[in-house]
Structure 1
Amino acid sequence: MSVAIRAAGEGDRELVVRLLDEAFQDDPVSGWVFPDAEYRRTTHHKLMAAFTDAVLADGRIDLAEDGAACALWLSVPAEAHVADGEDEAVGLRELVDPDNERVETIARLMSESHPAGRVHEYLWMIGVAPDRQGEGLGAALIRHVLDRCDREGLPAYLEASSERSTKLYERLGYTFTDHTLDLPDGPRMYPMWREPRS
């Protein structure tokens, strides 16, 4: 599928936040972070805004030209900074939902499980408008970066939020790592790694 893709800028912030909010409302991990559906509808966008701002500052957001899908990427250095992850988890909770310990918990767990030792591209999130899912937009956005990874010899990493979504990532060359990320009394996430293809 041919998808026109461009880099998102500050002017696209609200579009990206809205897109992620809609795409992840029914996601099992979002449901764990915000278990009450009504509260999720009124608060979830704050978490998506925090993620969007972090990636606009330090990474890259690729956006389908028609605004129906986006992918948030970070270039991760070889050295890991778990202590920084702790501080960022606390800050995220204070920013998004101070009384919700799960915001901090998921950020901390994801930071702790992140692989260290090699530079890699990290697909933090990918969101597709609910009425456009299944059209290949997500795969096109991911391939856009993976093609560069292959040219530059860079591996890539992500955490799949459901077993179902691992199938898409496997088709793109990702493989399951040796452990799952199990949220306390919640769903399981699937860390996946992709070696560059020659």
Structure 2
Amino acid sequence: MSEQDLCVAPAGRHDLDAVASLLARAFAEDVPMRAFFRGEGPVAPERHVEVFRGMLLEGPLASGTVDVVRDSTGGIAAAAVWHARGASWHGVSGLRRLADTLHALACYWRGMGAGGLGHAMVLQRAIDAYAPSAPYWYLKVIGVDPDRRGQGLGGLLLSHRLRMADEDDLPAYLESSSRRTGALYRRHGFVPVRSITPWAGGQPWAMWRERVSLRGDGVIHLA
């Protein structure tokens, strides 16, 4: 399938289950992801789906910052979940935010249980401590359908949102969990800045892509 048969567009609320299922398949064997489940062995697919449902409902889906690659049939082949740090619920009413937050908590509960949810929250806070405080685009997660890997879909998603970041003169930040993903991010202008030591499994690094107006001086401007 050629790139002409693909398009990048924001996911809608009707895509919740499809995107969550795709991300669950993409991360089924991911060791760093497994750390959120207390380092267990293989995690039941439905538990992964619930966790990704919760992630999508925590603001990105309602705010229009979940990008998907659709093929000519309308199917979703890849997805990227972004947060605009400082404006995670941009344009979302208070009532919708409350409803989605409660729905997200229920999803996390079903996916992890009470004890597992507490463990995941502690780990997430430890990871978040490595993040800068200034506004930036944050790539929470990006995943490609296992049957569509090697087709450049991850790069297509990155280019789409990073082009928007450049237009707004905003930096971007992410956590890379492996050498393979780190190499992809480097090709799109990210540089590793900190090793994330509390995160078990893989080779997690905090990575930063400088805003356009500061990119030429060779200095990393982390706030």
TM-score band, normalised by the shorter chain?
Answer: 0.7 to 0.9
Seen in structure 2, the aligned counterparts of structure 1 residues 5 and 61 have a Cα distance that, compared at 3 Å, is: same
Partner residue of 1:171?
Answer: 187
SS across alignment from 2:170: coil
Question: Could you say which residue in structure 1 is the equivalent of 2:220?
Answer: none
Indicate yes or no: 2:78 matched with 1:63.
no
Report Cα offsets for 1:1-57 as digits up to 9, x if no partner.
554111101000011000110001111212222333443434222211111111213
CA distance, structure 1, for counterparts of residue 181 and residue 161 of structure 2: 18
Report the residue type matching 2:7 in the other structure: A
Q: Distance in 1 between matches of 2:7 and 2:199?
A: 39
- Among 25, 28, 45, the alignment partner of 1:25 is 28
What secondary structure does 1:22 align onto? helix
SS in 1 for 2:150: coil
Does 2:209 match 1:194?
A: yes
5 Å matches for 1:114-125? 114-116=131-133, 118-125=134-141
Query: Is 1:131 aligned to 2:165, yes or no?
Result: no
Query: Following the alignment from structure 1 to structure 2, what is the Cα–Cα distance between the partners of residues 8 and 113?
Result: 29
Q: Write out the 4+ residue segments of structure 1 that deviate beyond 6 Å after TM superposition.
A: none
Structure 1 residue 44 and structure 2 residue 48: aligned? Answer: yes
Tell me: CA distance 1:29–1:173, structure 2 relative to 1, closer, same or farther (3 Å). same
Which residue in 1 is equivalent to 2:123?
106
Corresponding residue SS for 2:129: helix
Measure, in 1, the Cα distance between the counterparts of 2:126 and 2:64.
Answer: 21
Rounded to whole Å, the distance in 2 between the matches of 1:31 and 1:40 is 11
Equivalent residue number for residue 91 of structure 2: none
Q: Give distance in 2, aligned partners of 1:72 and 1:24.
A: 14
1:174-185 correspondence runs (5 A): 174-177=190-193, 179-183=194-198
Query: Where do 5+ consecutive residues of structure 1 fail to align?
Result: 79-87
What's the offset of the Cα at 1:94?
A: 4.7
User: Is the partner of 1:36 in helix, strand or coil?
Assistant: coil
Match of 1:81 in 2: none
Q: Provide the rounded CA distance (Å) in 2 between the counterparts of 1:130 and 1:181.
A: 26
Normalised to the residue count of structure 2, the TM-score between the two structures is: 0.74
Q: How many residues align?
A: 185
Tell me if structure 2 keeps the 8 A contact 1:71–1:125. Answer: yes
SS across alignment from 1:16? helix
**Greater mean deviation of Cα atoms: 141-150 or 41-50:** 41-50
Please identify, of 183-192 and 149-158, the stretch whose mean Cα deviation from structure 2 is larger.
183-192
- Give 2:17's aligned residue: 14
* Residue in 2 that maps onto 1:76: 85
Q: Which has the larger radius of gyration?
A: 2
Structure-2 change in CA distance of 1:40 and 1:162 (3 Å): farther
Over 3 Å counting, the alpha-carbon distance change for 1:173 and 1:59 in structure 2 is same
Letter in 2 for 1:107: Q
Distance in 2 between the 1:8 and 1:96 partners? 22
Contact 2:127 2:198 in 1 (8 A): no
